[in-house]
Amino acid sequence: MDYQFKEIEQKWQKFWADNQTFKAESNSEKPKYYVLDMFPYPSGAGLHVGHPLGYIASDIFSRYKRLKGFNVLHPMGYDSFGLPAEQYAIQTGQHPAITTEANIATYRRQLDQIGFSFDWSREVRTSEPSYYKWTQWIFMQLFNSWYNIETDRAEDITTLIEKFNASGTADVKAVCDEDVKSFLPSDWATFTEEEKQIELLKYRMTYLRESTVNWCPALGTVLANDEVKDGFSERGGFPVEQKKMMQWSMRITAYSDRLLQGLDTIDWPEPIKEMQRNWIGKSVGASVRFKIDDLRLTNKTLDSGLPTPDYIEVFTTRVDTIFGVSYLVLAPEHEWVAELTTPEQKQDIENYIAQTKKKSELDRMADTKTVSGAFTGTYVINPVSGERVPLWIADYVLAGYGTGAVMGVPSGDQRDWLFATHFNLPIIQILDSQKEIEVQADPTKEGKYINSGFINGLTYKEAVPFLNNWLEEKNVGKAKVNFRQRDAIFGRQRYWGEPIPVYFKDGLPYLVQEEELPLILPEIDKYLPTETGEPPLARAENWVPTDGGHYELSTMPGWAGSSWYWYRYMDAENNADFASKEAVEYWKDVDLYIGGSEHATGHLLYSRFWNKFLKDLGYTKEEEPFKKLINQGMIQGRSNFVYRINDADGKPTNTYVSAGLKKEYKTSALHVDVNIVENDTLDLNKFKAWREEYANAEFILEGGKYICGVEVEKMSKSKFNVVNPDDLIERYGADTLRMYEMFLGPLEQSKPWNTNGIEGVFKFLRKFWRLFHNEAWEFTVSDAEPTKAELKSLHKIIKKVQDDIERFSFNTSVSSFMIAVNELTDLKCNKRSILQDMVVILSPYAPHICEELWVQLGNDAGTLSYTAFPTFNPEHLVEDEFAYPVSINGKMKMNLNLSLTLPQPEVEAILMTNEQFQKFLDGKAPKKIIFVKGKIINVVV
Ligand code: ANZ
């Protein structure tokens, strides 16, 4: 029979499903291998050809590893909470669960068609209560934990309470809020339960904090930064305000250092590691306190309830420049600005603050040229030099970084230099090697300090530790490490997410009882905030905690469910645990993770954080969750265009000119649906039928054809360049699609989709099928011994594919398969022993056709998934003949083809009977014949 891909593919997909062929064993003697794909958000649009790229690669690897004797876990699921389903619900009233269910069904159908070897018995959906029960459970563990700096790990909150009982805050070293109290054990004993809870909340790994959010009153919701453009909502264009709200936060900063260190132990793409390093942003420097001079405001408390400040603390990475400080700057939002402004300067400062409110933080960071600021009227004292310097505010200082205050060193920093020059502030030269003011000086290359009091004559390396010690001794500062990373906000005022398992009583948060989990997302009538601006969950009726009070109304953010899902796959059905101890011990971590790079500082950072946390509490084993990561490139769209001719007035006509002739006309390029174009040739009838406006279109053709223009763009509906895998599978089959997607180029590279070459891959598979069939398409293989040439072809491809897959170079194997099949076709090879091994080698790429041939070869029991990958034998690649250069008295005379197995006496015998050689000898007898096997024959006469 000819290659009937449709029947074959359906048959094997059914076989795999019926027999649960890819179900990973929970207990196995085999070594484990865990291959994970980033699970998809099931959107309404379904899959396009770009989506499966990574899945195909991971599937090839999984199938290969099974053949190599591993117990492979290769699961799939859905990240099914999220905004699109909720937006759709708002517009249509359709419950997001229903939309989600329908979308998942489409995804599943599409995934099944591609023939993935997923273990569907372990499927997870983050929006299912049986799953989010454990997301909520992890939240509870976080709430019940604190970070102990001494042990450098998260611990149960009870160990903190024990410390409070035993010695108060004296030996507590924690990552916690800044406003924690200092107290003695006797104080703690007198705290009311409420006071204790307030204090403990400042230490918990998840805690409530007032944070600024983008609030859009018209939409009644909080928006993410990327949903806001220039102060307006991206959707609808409504004004967005900054609003302070109490929000749940995750103390990810406790792990900043471990998140950095871990990067050195994992095999991830360097750019992703670098993005995480920058995001965490570790800076080694010092904090220094500048005393406020002329303190007019004694014995007063600020509106915020804090006592009047008597110093400003700055964070600097260049404490060595402290003698060059000529002013201090606060961020305009700094909490003490109003208090520290003198009456004379009040107007200036207020005007300036009003002006900066218009700029976003990003704009402020990006702008390195504009100089602006205002003087508070107040002065501070440099603790090291004793100099009195003015205190300014300026928007180049960000409130959220360091201490929100900097010391201005015009001779050390470009920005400070601009600022000082603009406002006529002194510039103090501090290094002897500076001929003029050298901005952004590299301290390690610079000379010795001058005008710098007691560090005069020291170098940078000497000055920094010296100053740090000095500051600490005098209690005016100390060495400090600062991180750019902030704690992560953990909550949004939306419906379609995990309810946070917390209720409030008397204004304080309490966890629900563990037995109450999952705390089910309640039904509501409308998916919008209430009229008073409360989140949608406020609409839920009869949703009241057993203890009274009210439940938390925000839900978890999109990243909650995906921050631990790889553990659930290890033991997806467990009702008593997020995964059993045994399962976690066996599967440990993900060996290979494939997914997009857009998750660099989101999912991939949060997952590492939760992983470390779960390990600290002893629930899991590994410090890092994903040993190796590969980012697959984006598949871009390949758009096609038609060229509509415009008349002399620029008005559109109804005539379309082929791309090669368009220069002669005035035209407009219009996107045309790539599905009615083949090899860049437009199907004219389909075009006319495509849209009403083209029904009467006329064409100017070249060579009888209409050739379309081409451009590479993002794959998107609006560009009519979306290629759907379903159509290609219908036409060529999944095996062709799988191989073709790999053939497009290196996995990590972004590349345009181009269907033009798919035919070639299809032909290859048909040619492969042909090897097993005679002219009449009857299955015929021979049991004869393979020839040397056949064995050589086979072993070449065994080695190549093995090496390629181990290097994750999937594209290069495809062309090697083609070469091998061509060679075997030329050799007219239909030997069972060769073809059977070929079937196994090709099966990770094109599993359906290979399964079918495997059975036809007589392996009646079915699937080849667990057979062994053929062993490479280098002997078959060894060349058995060699063209020996023959030289006489050191001069090369001729070549002689000889078997490499021949020993010297035989070589000599053959040589002496060779006519050509006899001619060169010219009657002389050789005195000596030097023979080096596989290299040379040297004759001395
Ligand atoms: C004095 C100085 C002299 C500085 C010098 C630099 C060079 P990174 O590496 O990013 O941590 N800074 C501190 N807090 C700031 C804030 N909230 N907004 C804007 N700038 C801030 O850089 C830390 C340096 O950035 C600090 O060291 C401080 O300027 C500034 F020759 O202090 B430096």
The count of residues in the chain is 941
pLDDT digits (tens, 9 = 90+) for 524-566: 999 988 877 789 999 999 999 988 999 999 999 999 999 999 9
Across 63-67, 342-346, 651-655, the highest mean pLDDT is recorded for: 63-67
Q: Tell me the CA–centroid distance for residue 535 and ligand 1, in Å.
A: 39
What pLDDT, on the 0 to 100 scale, is given for residue 302?
Answer: 47
Q: Give the Cα separation of 216 and 232 in Å (integer).
A: 8
What pLDDT, on the 0 to 100 scale, is given for residue 446?
Answer: 58
Q: Tell me the CA–centroid distance for residue 940 and ligand 1, in Å.
A: 80
What pLDDT, on the 0 to 100 scale, is given for residue 436?
Answer: 44
Atom of ligand 1 nearest to the CA of 325: 1
| Ligand 1 lined by 397 (C-beta under 6 Å) | yes
Ligand 1 pocket: which of 395, 401, 414, 439 to mutate (most atoms within 8 A of CB): 401
What pLDDT, on the 0 to 100 scale, is given for residue 418?
Answer: 93
Closest listed residue to residue 796, CA positions, set 731, 681, 875: 875
Q: Whose CA is nearest to atom 19 of ligand 1?
A: 397
Closest listed residue to residue 320, CA positions, set 482, 185, 459: 459
What pLDDT, on the 0 to 100 scale, is given for residue 404?
Answer: 94
SS3 category, 359: coil
- Report the range of poorest mean pLDDT among 60-64, 104-108, 432-436, 483-487: 432-436
Q: Tell me the CA–centroid distance for residue 664 and ligand 1, in Å.
A: 60
Atom of ligand 1 nearest to the CA of 283: 11
Asked if residue 83 has pLDDT above 90, the reply is no
The count of other CB atoms within 10 Å of the CB of residue 236 is 9
pLDDT digits (tens, 9 = 90+) for 197-247: 999 999 999 999 987 778 888 777 777 776 777 778 877 788 888 788 889
Q: Tell me the CA–centroid distance for residue 465 and ligand 1, in Å.
A: 18
User: Average pLDDT for residues 663-669, to the nearest whole number?
Assistant: 93
Q: Percentage of residues in the chain with pLDDT exceeding 90?
A: 75
What pLDDT, on the 0 to 100 scale, is given for residue 299?
Answer: 43
E strands, 382-526, are 388-393, 405-408, 477-483, 488-489, 502-505, 508-511
- Report the range of poorest mean pLDDT among 179-193, 619-633, 918-932: 918-932
What pLDDT, on the 0 to 100 scale, is given for residue 295?
Answer: 57
Model confidence at 309, in pLDDT bands (50, 70, 90)? confident
Residue with token string 């064409």: 699
What pLDDT, on the 0 to 100 scale, is given for residue 74?
Answer: 98
User: Average pLDDT for residues 831-841, to the nearest whole number?
Assistant: 97
Q: Sheet harboring 221-223: ordered strands across? A: 221-223, 206-216, 241-250, 488-489
Point out which residues pair with 208 in neighbouring strands.
248
List the structure tokens of 93: 């009233």
Asked if residue 297 has pLDDT above 80, the reply is no
CATH number for the domain running over 282-483: 3.90.740.10
With vertex at residue 780, the alpha carbon angle to CA 778 and CA 782, rounded to the nearest 5 degrees, is 170
Q: Give the Cα separation of 557 and 453 in Å (integer).
A: 53
Point out which residues pair with 407 in neighbouring strands.
328
Helix (H) or strand (E) holding 233: strand 232-233
Q: Percentage of residues in the chain with pLDDT exceeding 70?
A: 97
| Ligand 1 lined by 316 (C-beta under 6 Å) | yes
pLDDT digits (tens, 9 = 90+) for 719-731: 999 888 999 999 9
What pLDDT, on the 0 to 100 scale, is given for residue 883?
Answer: 87
- Report the range of poorest mean pLDDT among 122-131, 249-258, 431-440: 431-440
Q: Give the Cα separation of 521 and 429 in Å (integer).
A: 64
| Ligand 1 lined by 318 (C-beta under 6 Å) | yes
Atom of ligand 1 nearest to the CA of 440: 31
With vertex at residue 246, the alpha carbon angle to CA 244 and CA 248, rounded to the nearest 5 degrees, is 130
Dihedral sign from CA coordinates of 693, 695, 698, 699: positive
What pLDDT, on the 0 to 100 scale, is given for residue 714?
Answer: 86
What pLDDT, on the 0 to 100 scale, is given for residue 1?
Answer: 83
Asked if residue 344 has pLDDT above 50, the reply is yes
* Backbone dihedral angles phi then psi of residue 872, each to the nearest 5 degrees: -75, 130
- Residue 560: what residue type? A
CA distances from 655 to 678, 709, 711 (A): 21, 16, 21
| Ligand 1 lined by 317 (C-beta under 6 Å) | yes
Point out which residues pair with 125 in neighbouring strands.
78
Atom of ligand 1 nearest to the CA of 482: 11
Q: Tell me the CA–centroid distance for residue 746 and ligand 1, in Å.
A: 42
List the structure tokens of 699: 């064409």
Look up the CATH architecture of domain 879-940.
Roll (3.10)
* Backbone dihedral angles phi then psi of residue 168, each to the nearest 5 degrees: 65, -145
User: Average pLDDT for residues 613-630, to the nearest whole number?
Assistant: 97
The mean pLDDT of the chain is 92
Q: Give the Cα separation of 366 and 12 in Å (integer).
A: 57
Q: Where in the chain is the domain with CATH 3.90.740.10?
A: 282-483
DSSP state of 552: -
**Long-range Cβ pairs for the range 725-732 (8 Å, 24+):** 725/47, 725/48, 725/49, 725/51, 725/52, 725/110, 725/113, 725/114, 726/110, 726/113, 727/675, 728/49, 728/755, 728/758, 729/9, 729/113, 729/114, 732/5, 732/758, 732/759, 732/761, 732/762
Q: Where in the chain is the domain with CATH 3.10.20.590?
A: 879-940
Q: Give the Cα separation of 259 and 655 in Å (integer).
A: 61
User: Average pLDDT for residues 322-336, to the nearest whole number?
Assistant: 94
| Ligand 1 lined by 321 (C-beta under 6 Å) | yes
Q: Give the Cα separation of 407 and 401 in Å (integer).
A: 14
CB distance 669 to 738 below 8 Å? no
CA distances from 382 to 201, 319, 393, 404, 435 (A): 36, 12, 17, 17, 26
Helix (H) or strand (E) holding 728: helix 725-732
SS3 category, 737: helix
| Ligand 1 lined by 332 (C-beta under 6 Å) | no
What is 398-423 written as a DSSP string?
Answer: -TTSTTSEEEE-TTT-HHHHHHHHHH
pLDDT digits (tens, 9 = 90+) for 12-33: 999 999 999 999 999 899 999 9
| Ligand 1 lined by 409 (C-beta under 6 Å) | yes
3-state secondary structure 882-896: EEEEEEECCEEEEEE
**480 has binding-site annotation:** no
| Ligand 1 lined by 413 (C-beta under 6 Å) | yes
Atom of ligand 1 nearest to the CA of 404: 17
Q: Tell me the CA–centroid distance for residue 316 and ligand 1, in Å.
A: 5
CA distances from 921 to 383, 894, 937, 939 (A): 98, 12, 14, 10
> Is the domain defined by 5-129+586-631 classed in CATH 3.40.50.620?
yes
Closest listed residue to residue 431, CA positions, set 404, 409, 395, 456: 456
Q: Tell me the CA–centroid distance for residue 95 and ligand 1, in Å.
A: 50
| Ligand 1 lined by 460 (C-beta under 6 Å) | no
pLDDT digits (tens, 9 = 90+) for 677-721: 998 999 999 999 999 999 999 999 999 999 999 999 988 888 999
The two most distant CA atoms of the chain are separated, in Å, by 121
Q: Whose CA is nearest to atom 29 of ligand 1?
A: 316
Closest listed residue to residue 243, CA positions, set 208, 215, 210: 215
More confident residue, 445 or 863: 863
Residues 6+ apart with CB under 8 A from 867: 67, 840, 859
| Ligand 1 lined by 315 (C-beta under 6 Å) | yes
What pLDDT, on the 0 to 100 scale, is given for residue 226?
Answer: 67
Q: Give the Cα separation of 320 and 318 in Å (integer).
A: 5
Q: Give the Cα separation of 240 and 230 in Å (integer).
A: 9
- Residue 414: what residue type? Q
CB distance 262 to 608 below 8 Å? yes
Q: Give the Cα separation of 407 and 389 in Å (integer).
A: 10
Tell me whether strands 635-646 and 709-713 are parallel, antiparallel or unpaired.
antiparallel
| Ligand 1 lined by 401 (C-beta under 6 Å) | yes
Ligand 1 pocket: which of 278, 290, 317 to mutate (most atoms within 8 A of CB): 317
SS3 category, 284: strand
What pLDDT, on the 0 to 100 scale, is given for residue 441?
Answer: 52
Asked if residue 922 has pLDDT above 90, the reply is no
Atom of ligand 1 nearest to the CA of 443: 31
Q: Whose CA is nearest to atom 7 of ligand 1?
A: 413
Q: Tell me the CA–centroid distance for residue 413 and ligand 1, in Å.
A: 9
Q: Give the Cα separation of 841 and 837 in Å (integer).
A: 6
| Ligand 1 lined by 406 (C-beta under 6 Å) | yes
Asked if residue 57 has pLDDT above 80, the reply is yes
Q: Tell me the CA–centroid distance for residue 335 and ligand 1, in Å.
A: 19
